[in-house]
């Protein structure tokens, strides 16, 4: 088989960008899925020759099979899938509408199921692969005002285990990364405007700092590689100890 082929959803910014860059820097041809044409094309241009933009809205579940088929037809194999695209919505519990709840679940959970199903069909044909899901501290402990997000990320960890056991006989490994508080433009802005929350994040993180998107990329790269060939069904907190902090 020639070079490895990866799909990274939400690869145009934040953790997904760092992951796509890590893969491409190490010779993995990476299809970067994002909704926004400009952001996705610019990200791929910055990352370099191994990055290929795919302008696609993952909430259009019915179009996912065609998108995956197109990549498979071109490459003949898909070896790695990183389910990273996600949205959050911070609202008081009673203000969350059914439509709000559905939007988050559709993006963070239904699309992960649909794209994984389609990629697994291809991985079964070619003898295996690695799927990497991204959950959150919201699946490790209770966070206020993010009910739909917490539901979706907790589901992701259960799906990881269910997929891992069913797909192991086909050479498909499924693992999950649970990022702690990672420095991105969005989180920096949110925490700078909320000193109390910022203090809480730092005080319960034994390492006393936020992580970097590259920390998540490094973990994803490990899971993607043959070095992790006996690792499946795991959830790896990459969080400076936040999930076990007192």
User: Which residues of this chain interact with ligand NDP, rule CB under 6 A?
Assistant: 9-10, 12-16, 33-36, 39-40, 57-59, 84-87, 107, 134, 136, 179, 181-182, 184, 186-187
Task: Using the minimum distance from each CB to ligand NDP, give the nearer residue, 189 or 229.
Answer: 189
How far is Cα 155 from Cα 164, in angstroms, rounded to an integer? 14
CB of 154 to ligand NDP, least distance (A): 12
**Residue 117, C-beta contacts closer than 8 angstroms, at least 6 positions apart:** none
CB of 46 to ligand NDP, least distance (A): 13
Residue 149 falls in the annotated catalytic set = yes
Catalytic residue among 31, 149, 221, 223: 149
The runs of H, that is alpha helices, within 64-184 are 64-75, 98-105, 111-126, 147-167
How far is Cα 133 from Cα 161, in angstroms, rounded to an integer? 11
CB of 230 to ligand NDP, least distance (A): 26
Side-chain-facing half-sphere of 236: CA atoms under 13 Å: 19
Select the residue whose beta carbon is closest to ligand NDP and give its number.
14
Q: What 3-state class would DSSP assign to 148?
A: helix
How far is Cα 85 from Cα 33, in angstroms, rounded to an integer? 8
- Which amino acids are annotated catalytic? 149
């Amino acid at each position: 088989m020639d070079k490895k082929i990866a799909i990274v959803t939400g690869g145009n910014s934040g953790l997904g960008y760092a992951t796509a860059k890590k893969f491409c820097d190490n010779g993995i041809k990476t299809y970067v899925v994002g909704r926004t044409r400009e952001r996705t094309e610019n990200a791929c241009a910055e990352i370099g020759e191994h990055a290929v933009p795919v302008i696609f809205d993952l909430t259009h579940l019915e179009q996912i099979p065609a998108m995956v088929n197109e990549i498979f037809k071109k490459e003949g194999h898909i070896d790695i899938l990183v389910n990273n695209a996600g949205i959050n919505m911070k609202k008081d519990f009673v203000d969350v509408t059914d439509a709000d709840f559905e939007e988050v679940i559709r993006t963070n959970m239904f699309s992960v199921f649909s794209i994984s199903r389609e990629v697994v069909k291809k991985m079964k044909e070619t003898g295996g692969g690695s799927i990497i899901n991204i959950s959150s501290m919201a699946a490790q402990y209770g966070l206020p005002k993010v009910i739909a997000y917490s539901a979706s990320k907790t589901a992701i960890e259960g799906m990881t285990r269910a997929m891992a056991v069913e797909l192991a006989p086909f050479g498909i490994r499924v693992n999950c990364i649970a990022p702690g508080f990672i420095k991105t433009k969005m989180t920096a802005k949110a925490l700078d405007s909320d000193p109390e929350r910022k203090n809480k994040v730092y005080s319960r993180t034994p390492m006393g700092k936020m992580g970097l998107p590259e920390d998540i990329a490094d973990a994803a790269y490990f899971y993607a590689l043959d070095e992790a060939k006996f690792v499946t069904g795991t959830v790896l907190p990459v969080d400076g100890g936040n999930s076990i902090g007192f």
